Structure 1
Amino acid sequence: MGYDELIAEGLTTPFEGWDFGVFRGRLTEKADALPWSYERLVRQRLPQVGSLLDLGTGGGELLASLAPLPPRTAATEGYEPNLPIARRRLEPMGVEVAEVGDDDALPFADGSFELVVDRHESYDPQEVRRVLTRDGVFVTQQVGGRDLEEVNQALGAPPHTYRDWDLSAAAAELTDAGFEITWQDEARVPAAFHDIGALVLFLRITSWQVPDFEPDRYAHRLRALHEEMERGHPLEVTYHRFALLAART
């Protein structure tokens, strides 16, 4: 496809939940590149708890894959289009899906959950601590503030406003909130966009990456990237991820 067709495809391709299968072969990364597995971190703890809260469940894809789930399992989601998707998937499994609009106002009573998990969702440390039981555990994998900064550089877009969000910042916040960090790790993983349509689709669904993104606004840079990709030179980028386990003290 030509440039115009790829741009149109990126703007119109259906996308729901957080199923990134649509990027297969178009946004590539080294398989199992992270030195940890978020899914394994969560699975290891599920048999030990009777209550679980998943923050920012998306379409519920990952949470559903972790079944069997604890007797009381709940999830939150703040992106309105994902709510009906998550509820269709999770409510038949007995999971309550709560809509949230504010990280510091979780709709649950104090001490409601033994385990709170969070993959790539923002959170308020004090609020997470409030809903955890005594000795409860928080497991999170976060997108760091240097994530895919090569995209912003290639487009001539401003860097992330949260550029300093990294493992040390998150660990300090949680410690200040009354948690003990029991494990932590951070990594940068190489990846590549192979066509301009995949990049446009990605920027469409991750509005925080380049908040003012519109193809017309960045047309000159997009065309230059497209020409490079057509010559077999993908846009090389780097994922920034970190993860930690924190026990409520």
Structure 2
Amino acid sequence: MTRTFEDLVAEASGAPVDGWDFSWLDGRASEERPSWGYHRLLAERLATASAGLDVQTGGGEVLDTVPVLPPTMAATESWPPNVARATERLHPRGVVVVADPDEPPLPFGDSAFDLVTSRHPATVWWTEIARVLRPGGSYLAQHVGPSSMWELVEWFLGPQPEAARARHPDDEAAAARAAGLDVVDVRAERLRVEFHDVGAVVWFLRKVIWIVPGFTVDAQLPRLRQLDARIRAEGPFVAHSARTLIEARKPAARV
């Protein structure tokens, strides 16, 4: 039986969105993955690090996939429900989870880590990353790129030309260099995303709150109804995520 608009929206509105697990969308939405395989790269680098820091770790889901962690491993997170989830998940593996507001300074001393990582950070404080890295240490991260999910953004908010360049890989590389880091790798890809019902869109926008800031079902009810009608008539709503892989290294100390 075909589910009604009201049923789909009510279900998505009541589903939990804490943590950084997207399995609720299984069968309801899909997203292509970047070719570089961030999880694999993360595991390879952490396996050889002596001290690692994962910034904005969410609920610790990504870090917990790494088979071998460094002898010293820390993670930061700002949202209290995620701090609790990450602590529960990562403490048994010896990871220290620190509640941090995602604003400078990072709560660590200078040159504390030889590897800093992050997957989809909301903010990137390059001078702080450079400060906590040891000479010769690296920052390896997968960032959200420019105009990510722009089809979805503009469906609800209309044209946003002034915001389209935010997080451009060239700008991020320039900011890393300005902080004194050497950029050794930058790759960018746009990836197809499909939403198969309006409930998937509602849940996604509740979870990833910066896509449509201030999103609520009540405020966007007319556009949600139009989106529901479009999906039923034409098939999945297609958007494109933008992903950037960036690696930057702190220059080695001069002898």
Q: Tell me the TM-score normalised to structure 2 length.
A: 0.92
Equivalent residue for 1:236, pick from 211, 223, 238: 238
**Residue 155 of structure 2: aligned partner:** 154
Number of equivalenced pairs: 247
SS at match of 1:45: helix
Describe how 1:204-243 pairs up with structure 2 within 5 A. 204-243=206-245
Separation in 2, partners of 1:161, 1:10: 28
CA RMSD of aligned residues (A): 1.5
1:120 matched to 2:120? The reply is yes
Q: Is the 8 A contact 1:158 1:210 kept in 2?
A: no
Specify the code of the residue in structure 2 equivalent to 1:55: V
Deviations 1:159-200 (A, max 9, x none): 384742111111000011111111110000011111001101
Unaligned 5+ segments in structure 2 are none
Deviations 1:104-156 (A, max 9, x none): 21111111100000101122001001111111000011012301010122224
SS at match of 2:74: strand
Specify the code of the residue in structure 2 equivalent to 1:99: A
**Residue 179 of structure 1: aligned partner:** 181
Q: Is the 8 A contact 1:157 1:210 kept in 2?
A: no
> In structure 2, do the counterparts of structure 1 residues 76 and 162 end up closer, same or farther at CA, with 3 Å as the change threshold?
farther
SS at match of 1:127: helix
**Residue 101 of structure 1: aligned partner:** 101
SS at match of 1:44: helix
Separation in 2, partners of 1:130, 1:25: 43
1:79 is displaced (CA, Å) by: 1.1
1:94 is displaced (CA, Å) by: 1.0
Unaligned 5+ segments in structure 1 are none
Query: Relative to structure 2, which stretch is displaced further, 239-248 or 44-53?
Result: 44-53
- Structure 1 segments of 4 or more deviating over 6 A? none
**Residue 56 of structure 2: aligned partner:** 56
Separation in 2, partners of 1:18, 1:129: 26
1:78 is displaced (CA, Å) by: 0.8
SS at match of 1:241: strand
Q: Is the 8 A contact 1:200 1:215 kept in 2?
A: yes
**Residue 247 of structure 1: aligned partner:** 249
Separation in 2, partners of 1:158, 1:210: 12
Q: Is the 8 A contact 2:11 2:199 kept in 1?
A: yes
Q: Is the 8 A contact 1:191 1:239 kept in 2?
A: yes
